[in-house]
Every structure is written in structure tokens, then in C-alpha cells.
Chain A
């Protein structure tokens, strides 16, 4: 069974940093593009970033470029999101999601349960 388990969320002050982790199991992690998708409280879904199987390609939404860094450790079956210079508008539930090649691109059939990041003083 595919499992994605996020951790690392919490309360942080504006300008602070946080590192999210996503532990993957039940599939060959190194064979999949992986993504982070977020959802502000009561709002819709927003794609944040993704990373290629070997980490050689990474893409970001404009609003986080230069502040967030996506990475992975295939030996540990883990995905990460380093978030710096956090702003109130980064407050959201952050989901880790597996990209499905059979879609022909970035669609997501497996998601974690999400981890809440709250940016507030």
C-alpha cells in the first residue's frame, strides 16, 4: 500500500524557517516525480513545487521561488521542503503527492494526510 506521511509543520514567526518532510513507503520512491501542494485554510489547492526522480530537475510556483527548496533522499525514501523567509500567506496545509506518469504529466493519485504550517507572530 502506498503511504505518504508528512511531518514538520507547526507555528513559525514571519521571516522564519521550517523544513517539511514526507516519508514514502509501499512503492519504489526513486521512480517517481514528487510534488508539494498546499491549501490555505478554507481555500483551494495550490501547487508549490516538484522534483524529478533523481533530483536533477526542480520547478516552483513563482510565489515561493527563492524562498523554498524542494529536495529528496532516495536512499531514505523521503521528500523535503525547506521553507525560508516565511510569510503569513504561506499559512496552509502542505501535502506531499506522487506524480503519476500515466496521466501524461503532473496528476496525483496518492497524497499524504497533510501537515499544517502557520505563519504568525
Chain B
């Protein structure tokens, strides 16, 4: 099974900051990576798929990059509604697996 290591596990940031979250796969997964945002008590929301394709309706301040084993989610200008937990997920091979999550908190 492919292991996904996500970092950091948490970060504190201010509105307007640029935030970067990384995921590393234990083996190459091409571009079969998705990013989700989850707020407390809610289901995850798909932000990005195929490593860098923005899901319809997601603000352009979110972007994804990477291929192979190393991937990045960037929020260019953090907004108040972006404080949440973020997960990456590989879907290159079974079983699909998620990173441990990154909680983005208000500084």
C-alpha cells in the first residue's frame, strides 16, 4: 500500500498569508493526487484533483503542483473561511490513501 506523508500536521497563519502544505508518497503516483478541505462536523470538500486541476467553484487562490512523489497545495492569500483541515489523497493504486491532515489555525 502507498503511504502518504503530509506536513506540517498543523500551522498557524494570519489572513493574507501564503500557506504551503506538502505531501510525499512512498512511491511514484504520477499525478493521481487530490486535495480536500474539511471543516469541523462537515464532509470533506474536493479542492484539486490530478495534482493541479482546480475543482469547479474553488477559488483561484488555491493551487496544486507536483508529480511523482512530491506534491504541494498552496493557498496564495489566506482568507478567514480557509481555516480548516486539509488532506491529500492518492488514487494511483488500491487502496486509495489519505495523508494525515494539516490543520490550518488562526495565528
Query: Which A positions have Cβ atoms within 8 angstroms of B?
Result: 35, 44-47, 59-62, 95, 100, 102-109, 111-114
Contacts and interface: CB of A to CB of B under 8 A. Distances in A.
Interface stretch (B10-18, B19-27, B69-77, B88-96): B88-96
Nearest to A46: B98
Secondary structure dominating the interface of B? loop
Nearest to A103: B49
Contacts of B89: 45, 47, 107
B100 A44 contact: yes
Contacts, number: 61
A37 B86 CA distance: 16
B28 interface: no
Given A47-B96, A106-B96, 16 more contacts: A35-B96, A44-B98, A44-B100, A44-B101, A45-B36, A45-B101, A46-B98, A47-B89, A100-B49, A103-B32, A103-B49, A103-B50, A104-B32, A105-B32, A108-B34, A109-B55
Nearest to A48: B95
Main secondary structure of the interface of A (DSSP, over half): mixed
Contacts of B96: 35, 47, 105-106
A102 B48 CA distance: 12
B43 A95 contact: yes
